[in-house]
Amino acid sequence: VDRAYPLKPMVYRKSCSTGEAGTDGDHNVYPRPPEPREFSSRNFAVRNQGNFSVVGTVLAATQAEKAVANFDRTEWVQIRRLEAAGESLEEEIRRKQILLRGKLKKTEEELRRIQTQKEQAKENENGELQKIILPRSRVKVLCLWKLSGCTFLSFL
């Protein structure tokens, strides 16, 4: 393939096409710019036999315009594809965020439940310890105090 004559993309017209080249029935696609007119090097050279450098520059200019127009179209299609891919990625991110929020909520609820169970277990443990300790402390103890020769009796 010669770079001076790049391959043109194949365009398949749909049955619902309006007949305009480049739309393919898709109304979201921007219309193509009109194709630049090609100059036949023979006809142009016959008219301007003395000036061959003009023929070369005109042909190069038209070919460059075609390449730019083709590049713009392919670039536009690529941009649209990337935008569509970006939108689908954003949608996937939103779905995953919703799933993660649900998992986080369940995890937080589970953590709260475990913490309340621990607190209840601690309270039950403390209550059992108090039941064991309190009866012993209720036993009255007889203490004798000796102060300066006097004996005192006290009950706790």
Q: For the segment 94-145, what is each residue's pLDDT rounded down to a tens digit?
A: 999 999 999 999 999 999 999 999 999 988 888 777 776 655 544 454 555 5
pLDDT attached to residue 37: 52
Q: Alpha-carbon distance 69 to 32, whole Å?
A: 9
- Assign 152 to helix, strand or coil: strand
* The predicted structure's pLDDT at residue 108: 96
pTM: 0.36
The yes-or-no verdict on residue 78 having pLDDT over 60 is yes
C-alpha 37/C-alpha 69 separation (Å) is 13
Helix (H, G, I), strand (E, B) or coil at 140: coil
Residue 113, helix vs strand vs coil: helix
Q: Residue type for 120, please? A: Q
What pLDDT digit, counting tens, does each position of 81-95 carry? 999 999 999 999 999
